[in-house]
Amino acid sequence: MAVLTEEQSMLRDAARTWTQEKSPVTAFRKMRDAGMPLGYDPAAFAEMAEMGWTGVIIPEEYGGSDFGYLSLGLVLEETGRTLTASPLLSSALAAASAIILGGSDAQKGAYLPKIASGELVGTLAIDEGPHHAPEKVALEAKKSGSGYTLNGAKTFVLEGMAAGVYVVSARTSGKAGDKEGITLFLVPADAKGVERKALKLADSRGAANVAFKNVEVGADAVLGDVDKGGDLLEKVLDRARAGLAAEMLGAATQAFETTLDYLKTRVQFGQVIGAFQALQHRAAKMFTDLELARSCVEAALAAIDNDSPDTPELVSLAKAKMGDTLHLVSNEMVQMHGGIGMTDAHDAGLYLKRARAAEASYGGQSYHRDRYARLNGY
Amino acid sequence: MADFGGADLDAFRTEAREWLEANFPPALKGRGGAMYVEGAGPSGGDFGLWKKRMGDKGWGVPTWPKAYGGGGLEPAQARVLQQEMNRIGAWNPIGGMGVMMFGPTLLEYGNEDQKKTHIPKIVHGEVNWCQGFSEPGAGSDLASLQTRCEDKGDHWLVNGSKIWTSGAQWADWCFCLVRTDTTKKHEGISFLLIDMKTPGVEVRPIKLIAGASPFCETFFTDVKVPKENLVGPMNGGWTIGKRLLQHERSGLSGGGGGGGGGGMFGVSGSVPQLAKTYVGADEKGRIADSDLRFRIASHDMDRRAFQLTALRTMMESRSNQGPSAATSIMKNAGTKIGQDQAELTIEIMGNQGLGWEGDGFTSEELQAVRGWLGGKATTIFGGSAEIQNNIISKRILGLPDPINASN
């Protein structure tokens, strides 16, 4: 655990108390079983917003507390522990980051206070295929009059059904695969020609495919500079990836602790199964990987707060190491629980499903290993 | 991370800086790793001068008590001293098992006479110590050791043999675990100091898979040891030995011997760069072999994660959060990274990475082969990787003892 300030410790403790009492895994299960259409419980999200979590990275002048990414990571780690589903990551971290980093004063004024208060959900609409590939943008934005007309489609948009505004990456020049020629737009979900379709995913979280058919937006919808959105997008994505890695750290830590408890209580052959060395060494391996991954996640979040030049590689390190670790721990959670771990009534399956979805979001392990190598010149 | 201490620490920084500039021979700048080989290191010249000066000042062991010749510095001051040494490329000429393992243990468990006799010589780097723990029949199960130590009234009589006594051929003294009670296991072990010049002590170097090595077998035949050389109570040696092993492990994991830094394998430069040289790169500058490239990236990331964890444990222990649980993983993580690097290195070198000696190979290539082989020891000594996992399971995770085992 990183060395925290007193305020950060208080925030983490508050997040832990709330998630354990108000949003345990049973709450997620209830939400799933009830088939809530947004993939999260709006009442619970409203409580999170009331506690200020949706404004942690937003400047004070726009209704936030300007408390930094490591601080928001502490909250996400706690929500990750109990699989709490909410737009905290996609809206209060990812969309908010896009507007903080690229927005004009007018855009900040229009969107940030509403994101901070929780009344508006924003999200990134970036990918167009089954894999994360932020440069492979084909969705076209054509100049028309003083504004633009958008045509194309985005896939696997997190909280895509709940969102009131999308941060859309579009091509204003060049071809799919070019980094140049990408422009980011803020597109209201109720704009004419926006059609969204809910996806039912294994992890029961909210996601949608979103089509843009002749969607007209004004020039004031451009976020940052025309054709230069690629660099801005990378910075935004790095913040989203680090935040997601923090959530994954929480999920992996809890999955491990739940499994460890089982090793200490399940009796076979007249002894607790945790006495078997075959399981002990696998537990030690998980603990080792968790400690290493935690260092990476905390370093990535701190690098963002310090505007450190090695932020991109630390973020790819964190997302890849955390992905590997969560992958291992979620598999072992099922295996070590044996038959009970295969049942829907047990939590192991919920962690396993969330693990794979989180691994894939904003780039999986192979994406980030490749990126780490590229950033280091090989 | 802000240092604490403020003005006092600034004053010490000035003092350290002035002393180092006046006393560190500039010719030795940055040559610490190459110069210092325990026991076989050069004497005299600039090295001897530097060693004497640091020994007299006590700054080779900066936090040891002044009463026994140590530097008597606070931890914060010792860090400042290290920073000032790094600043001018100076390095600590006082090292070895005496500093790393035995000294701290004796300061904790030794009596006043023992400390006065042995500590000042370690402080000055005058005496080399070796470790007599493992035996042919007592490796990972160390407590099954059988070297007998009998009470003969006015002396102890020692018979038996020790293995992996690294540096024994250069050592002046050996700290040993010996059996003083054959009816008990852990509670029958004592901690004894043996002068290697005593009649009946015989040392045989061991040739390893990598060729010559610092490891030895040491035989004790009717060796008479003075009564005052027992450290701690009779049959109370196991506790002391375990404490000493903690010092050993924390030293091995620090990216030095453990291989987190990779320096011990004699390969300079980065693995990716080496791969570009031997394997080539594509038009985008990527390592040409994509399978190798991904494995190198994984290794590179493991190394970074290890370094970040070392940094985190240091910050946590400084911030009064208490010892970090992450410390327990460092030996296994660090040694694995070192071995991975060595494996990748010879693979990258291809056939050039398979030379044993002679023409046709650069010295770097030959070193890579020896380093690859020699590095296999790192997951065996100092508590094998499996023993480390047992320790994590038991001490950190609170899992019960495996059946039929006791450690």
Residues B81-135 have pLDDT tens digits of: 988 998 898 989 998 899 989 999 999 999 999 999 999 999 999 999 999 999 9
Reference B300, options B284, B285, B312, B287; nearest CA is B287
pLDDT score, position B214: 83
Residues of chain B neighbouring A366 (CB-CB closer than 8 A): 294
CB contact under 8 A, B301 and A369: yes
Q: Does A374 touch chain B (CB under 8 A)?
A: yes
Q: Please state, in angstroms and as integers, the Cα–Cα distance from residue B381 to each residue in B242, B249, B325, following that order.
A: 14, 10, 22
Answer yes or no: do A280 and B393 touch at CB < 8 A. Answer: yes
Q: A357 CB near a chain B CB, below 8 Å?
A: no
Probe site for chain B from A262, A264, A277 (most B CB atoms < 10 A) = A277
Report how far residue B60's alpha carbon sits from residue B66's, in angstroms, rounded to the nearest whole number.
12
Q: Which residues of B touch A282 (CB under 8 A)?
A: none
CB contacts under 8 A, B 149-208 vs A, are: none
CA-CA-CA-CA torsion sign (B46, B49, B52, B53):
negative
Residue of B nearest to A367 (CA): B294
* Cβ-defined contact of A298 to B312 (cutoff 8 Å): yes
Gap between the Cα atoms of A92 and A97, Å rounded: 8
Cα B302 from Cα B311, distance rounded (Å): 14
Residue closest to A282 by CA, chosen among B68, B290, B397: B397
Are residues A291 and B397, on separate chains, in Cβ contact within 8 Å? no
Q: Are A373 and B296 in contact (CB under 8 A)?
A: yes
Q: How far is B258 from chain A (nearest CA, A)?
A: 16
pLDDT for residue B243: 87
Residues of B in contact with A377 (CB under 8 A): 272, 285
Supply B37's token pair: 């080989």
CB-based contact A165:A196 (threshold 8 Å)? no
Share of chain B above pLDDT 90, in %: 70
Is A251 in CB contact (< 8 Å) with chain B?
no
Positive or negative, the CA dihedral B348, B354, B357, B359 is: negative
Q: How many CB atoms lie within 10 A of CB A253?
A: 20
Of A281, A272, A274, nearest to B388 (Cα)?
A: A281
* Residue A271 with chain B: CB contacts under 8 Å: 400, 403
> Between these two residues, B173 and B317, which has the higher pLDDT value?
B173
Interface of B with A in 306-325 (CB under 8 A): 306, 308-309, 311-312, 315-316, 319, 321, 325
Mean pLDDT of all residues in B226-243: 95
- Residues contacting B27, CB < 8 A, separation 6+: B46
User: In this complex, do B301 and A377 lie within 8 Å of one another by their Cβ atoms?
Assistant: no
What is the model's pLDDT at position B38? Answer: 41
Rounded average pLDDT over B231-256? 80
Band the pLDDT of B401: cuts 50, 70, 90. confident
Mutant choice from B141, B299, B344, B397 vs A, greatest count of A C-beta within 10 A = B397
Answer whether B40 touches A (CB < 8 Å): no
- Flag whether residue A375 sits within 8 Å of chain B, measured between CB atoms: no
* Number of Cβ within a 10 Å radius of residue A330: 27
Confidence (pLDDT) at B247: 79
Helix, strand or coil, per DSSP, at residue A150: strand
Q: A280 vs B386: CB contact, 8 Å cut-off?
A: no
Mean pLDDT in residue range B362-378:
93
**Distance of residue A273 Cα from the nearest chain B Cα, in angstroms:** 9
By CA distance, what is B290's nearest residue in A?
A: A370
First to last CA, chain A: 32
CA-based R_g, chain B, Å:
23
Q: In Å, how far is A182's CA from the nearest CA of chain B?
A: 22
Q: How far is A169 from chain B (nearest CA, A)?
A: 26
Q: How far apart, in whole angstroms, are the C-alpha atoms of residue A14 and residue A8?
A: 10
**Quick check: A280 and B402 CB within 8 A?**
yes
> Cα–Cα distance between A293 and A283 in angstroms, integer?
15
Contact status, residue B249 vs residue B331, Cβ threshold 8 Å: yes
Gyration radius from chain A CA atoms: 21
CB contact under 8 A, A287 and B329: yes
Nearest CA in chain B to A372: B297
Closest among B318, B337, B315, B324 to B256, alpha carbons compared: B337
Best mutation site among B335, B389, B401 for testing chain A: the one with the most A CBs within 10 Å?
Answer: B389
- A273 CB within 8 Å of a chain B CB: no
Higher pLDDT, B264 or A169: A169
Give me the mean pLDDT over the B42-71 stretch: 90
Contacts of A370 in chain B (CB under 8 A): 294, 297
Of B276, B319, B399, Cβ closest to residue A263: B399
Which chain B positions have a beta carbon within 8 Å of A378's beta carbon? Answer: 272-273, 275-276, 281, 285-287, 293, 296-297
DSSP conformational letter for B172? S
More confident residue, B308 or B166: B308
Q: Is A290 on the interface with B (CB under 8 A)?
A: no
Q: Where are the alpha helices (DSSP H) in B100-161?
A: 103-109, 112-123
Kindly report the length of chain B: 407
Q: Does A327 touch chain B (CB under 8 A)?
A: no
Given an 8 Å threshold on Cβ–Cβ distance, is A281 in contact with B298? no
Instruction: Report residue B270's pLDDT band, with 50, 70 and 90 as the boundaries.
Output: confident
Mean of per-residue pLDDT scores for chain B: 88
Asked if A369 and B386 come within 8 Å (Cβ–Cβ), the reply is: no
* A110's tokens: 């229009």
Nearest to B389 among A264, A284, A366 (CB): A284
CB A293 within 8 A of CB A320: no
CA distance A360 to A363: 5
The complex's ipTM works out to 0.93
Give B159-169 pLDDT, tens digit per residue.
999 999 989 99
Nearest to A283 among B281, B326, B393 (CB): B393
- Geometric angle at alpha carbon B378, from B296 and B86, rounded to 5°: 75
Please indicate, yes or no, whether the overall pTM of this predicted structure exceeds 0.95.
no
Of B272, B308, B312, the CB nearest to A376: B272
Q: Which residues of B119-133 are buried (b: 16+ CB within 10 A; e: fewer)?
A: bbbbbbbebbbbbbb
> Does A274 reach chain B within 8 Å, measured CB to CB?
yes
The tens place of each residue's pLDDT in chain A, 378 residues long, gives 778 999 999 999 999 999 999 999 999 999 999 998 899 999 999 999 999 999 999 999 999 999 999 999 999 999 999 999 999 999 999 999 999 999 999 999 999 999 999 999 999 999 999 999 999 999 999 999 999 999 999 999 999 999 999 999 999 999 989 989 999 999 999 999 999 999 999 999 999 999 999 999 999 999 999 999 999 999 999 999 999 999 999 999 999 999 999 999 999 999 999 999 999 999 999 999 999 999 999 999 999 999 999 999 999 999 999 999 999 999 999 999 999 999 999 999 999 999 999 999 999 999 999 999 999 999
Q: Does A281 touch chain B (CB under 8 A)?
A: yes
From B372's Cα to the closest Cα of chain A, the distance in A is 24
Please report the pLDDT score of residue B324 as a whole number. Answer: 66
Distance CA B406, CA B187 (A): 13
Query: Which letter, b or e, does each residue of A137-148 get, where b requires 16 or more Cβ atoms within 10 Å of its Cβ?
Result: bebebeeeeebb
In 3D space, the residue among B95, B167, B169 whose CA is nearest the CA of residue B130 turns out to be: B167
Evaluate if residue B258 carries a pLDDT over 80: no
